[in-house]
Structure 1
Amino acid sequence: MAIQNVRSGSRTPLVLRTVPGDYVYRFAAEWRDLIGQRSSHNIVIHAVTLLNQSQQAISIRSLTIETLAGTRVFQRVVYGARDIELMAEEAAAKGRLGLRPLIDFILGTDATVPPEMRLSATTRLKPQTALVLPNIYLLFHKKPDRVRMTAAYVMDGLTHEVQTMLRVADYACRNGYAMPLEGLWLMKGIPEAGVLDHHRFTAASEFGVDFLKLGPSGELYASDGSQASDYFAYGEKVLAAAGGKVAVVEGRLVQEWSRFNQREGETVPEFQQRQFKQLLEAMNAGLSGWAAGNHIIIEHPGNEYSAYLHLKENSLRVKAGDVVTQGQHIADVGNTGDSFGAHLHFQVMDRPDLAQGRGLPFVFSRAEVVLAEPGIMIQPK
């Protein structure tokens, strides 16, 4: 759906692509205050990419994002050249460090930017280079239907435009998912938090949630929290949220706690260098295991898959092919993978693939929400 001011028959010099490339899921938040019933709508475009596939330099002038309800534009955001460069710098910097696979894993840009194309940090795009603009969050006062993006660029002294369109979709789960834990838990990383939700930066985990167990005084862990076993969540039962067939089981990983903490006598630069080395090793071994740790993925009717991440070592109680029932004990809460502390990460996807799967909006059909507004945990120092 591209519109371009280029001569008939000539090759398109600038390509505008998005991740996802066809549609994005809308998240709606509703609440009631003294004025009455309120609502807002938001989406995340996980990446916008601009590729110079010509043999000469192109200068990007602006990127305009318009939101439509029906045929009418009701919201417009314009990013100038400096705005675009600020967004592109992070991806370009990681590319220079040799972390391009990490960018591809998080944003899914390997489907839009050929591996031989270098990532640029400037709007003056050299031939065969690309701009990657990550995580554009958009908030609306009413339900959007489509998002139109237009990039203006200069080539041969003339201004041209390239355009693409994204459909805004809703999703209703085909299965009823019960809470995968027993008792009262703090659920964080929820879509209602908007840009504060650390899951929404990638399409695979966009609607995932984290569960943490609180102690008697509201604390997350006993002792000093230096070990996974200090956390109150550690070792708690993980339950199947819905009945289905086990599709994926990974239970070989062990939590290497020093990955998140400085070792005794280790300087900050040495600690950072060790983390960087471990990340490079993870990219070679497979980033899904590095990020998710021990995990289980269960297939449900209607091509829906529930995923349970960061599970405790030697706690998995099912194998691939097993049929499980809702509420069945399948593993224990742990801290394997890229985990800030012992907790359970839960999400629903459209396929059994933590890297390529698409996160799906869901609600727990058998759960009582005690606190309905997102917040932060805070205490005096």
Structure 2
Amino acid sequence: MTPNAKLIELRTFRRLMRARPLLARGGVVLVCLGVALLIVVPDRTVRTLLGLGAVFTGLFFCTAGFGLLFLPMGPRRDSRVTGAPVAGRWMVVNSPGSAVPSHGIHSLAQTFAVDMVHVPEGVPGRGEPAEKGLIAREKFPSFGRPVYAPADGEVVAVHDSARDHRARTGPLGLACMFAEAMVREAGGARMLFGNHIVLDVGEGAYAVLAHLRKGTVTVRAGDAVRSGQQVAECGNSGNSSEPHIHFQLMDHPRASRAVGIPFAFADISVEDGRGTCVPANDKTLVAREPQAGCG
């Protein structure tokens, strides 16, 4: 999308984003109700009218909610420079450096979101195990890696009770993930992001650190944080195929009402030198360890 493309007005965009999970949840409820009516109502005519009517209405609501995922985003904001929320070598996937929207959708302010997978020095590819299916999360090098505050700010929201599930790889694992994603979609941001932290980093910008390891978040709502302070560990909670960090900036503390903000990581090493950017897909960035005293 070009900067001059015609976009939905911001207020309308926010309202539609708030309606999206309601449509999805209502659709799921109606489909379940319709199936139940088809089973329990004895009169065939009534059973058909009520049951099929509820099922098709529910499917319509679900389809409408899904369609709202692909609405064009609200007005752009100037790009913001932040620190990287990780240290060491990380491969970038689903990057706004390669495509916008980076995750294929604008909902939950994910227009410019980025995913990062830890790759230890000397490990080829992404360092994932060769086996496929439902894999133990501990076999992935990202799991348990420290996660840092990308800027000075204040903690707005924390969720730290979602389980870290097994990684999903290969056709069977990904099929399980997509089936789960439909349920998580109806649950909204908390179920999709899993364990996560929302930080107010100033100037109307809010940072999200998602898919964190259960029980490792060290901050609470209202806490002040410093750039480079460790706030959690990388996990595999929420809508995640393997342990990784999901990072995004947005213009509202609630992702369901927010619009994504473009950003760049400051002073990182990339394959062709050092700079301030978000590398393209499958490129590796190296971020410095935070200085002593930041944590």
TM-score class, shorter: 0.5 to 0.7
Q: Looking at both structures, which has the greater relative contact order when contacts are Cα pairs under 8 Å and sequence separation is at least 6? A: 2
Distance 1:292 1:94 in 2: 28
Residue 144 of structure 2 corresponds to: 235
CA contact (8 A) 2:82 2:265 kept: yes
The CA deviation at 1:250 is: 0.4
Does residue 356 in structure 1 map to residue 275 in structure 2? no
Residue 78 of structure 2 corresponds to: 171
The CA deviation at 1:94 is: 11
Render the CA deviation track for 1:79-135: whole Å, top value 9, x for unaligned: xxxxxxxxxxxxxx997365247427x62xxxxxxxxxxxxxxxxxxxxxxxxxx46
Residue 156 of structure 1 corresponds to: none
Render the CA deviation track for 1:329-354: whole Å, top value 9, x for unaligned: 00000110101110000111111112
Structure 1 residues 208, 373: CA separation in 2 closer, same or farther (over 3 Å shift)? Answer: closer
Distance 1:135 1:251 in 2: 30
Render the CA deviation track for 1:227-258: whole Å, top value 9, x for unaligned: 22111111000000001110000011113338
2:166 pairs with 254, 257, 271, which one?
257
Structure 1 residues 282, 97: CA separation in 2 closer, same or farther (over 3 Å shift)? Answer: farther
SS, match of residue 355 in structure 1: helix
The CA deviation at 1:318 is: 0.6
Structure 1 stretch displaced more, 326-335 or 94-103: 94-103
Residue 224 of structure 1 corresponds to: 131
Distance 1:196 1:301 in 2: 24
Does residue 304 in structure 1 map to residue 205 in structure 2? yes
More helix by share: 2
Give % identity.
Answer: 23
The residue identity in structure 1 corresponding to 2:87 is E
Residue 182 of structure 1 corresponds to: 87
Structure 1 residues 351, 201: CA separation in 2 closer, same or farther (over 3 Å shift)? Answer: closer
Render the CA deviation track for 1:298-325: whole Å, top value 9, x for unaligned: 1122111111000011111111111110
Structure 1 residues 290, 241: CA separation in 2 closer, same or farther (over 3 Å shift)? Answer: same
Residue 238 of structure 2 corresponds to: 337
Gaps of 5+ in 1: 1-17, 24-45, 47-92, 108-133, 137-165
CA contact (8 A) 1:222 1:232 kept: no
Does residue 317 in structure 1 map to residue 218 in structure 2? yes
Distance 1:298 1:262 in 2: 36
The CA deviation at 1:198 is: 2.1
More strand by share: 1
1:374 pairs with 259, 276, 280, which one?
280
Distance 1:203 1:214 in 2: 28
Distance 1:194 1:171 in 2: 17
* Equivalence map 1:32-181=2 (5 Å): 96=59, 99-100=62-63, 102-103=65-66, 107=69, 134=70, 169-173=76-80, 176-181=81-86
Structure 1 residues 311, 20: CA separation in 2 closer, same or farther (over 3 Å shift)? Answer: farther
CA contact (8 A) 2:100 2:112 kept: no
Structure 1 residues 283, 361: CA separation in 2 closer, same or farther (over 3 Å shift)? Answer: closer
TM-score, normalised with respect to structure 1: 0.51
Structure 1 stretch displaced more, 302-311 or 364-373: 364-373
Gaps of 5+ in 2: 1-5, 12-16, 18-55, 273-277, 284-295
CA contact (8 A) 1:191 1:200 kept: no
Distance 1:94 1:335 in 2: 35
Cα RMSD after superposing both structures:
3.7
Distance 1:298 1:373 in 2: 23
Structure 1 stretch displaced more, 93-102 or 348-357: 93-102
CA contact (8 A) 1:221 1:231 kept: yes
The CA deviation at 1:189 is: 1.4
Distance 1:223 1:363 in 2: 33
Distance 1:309 1:336 in 2: 8
* Structure exhibiting the larger radius of gyration computed from Cα positions: 1
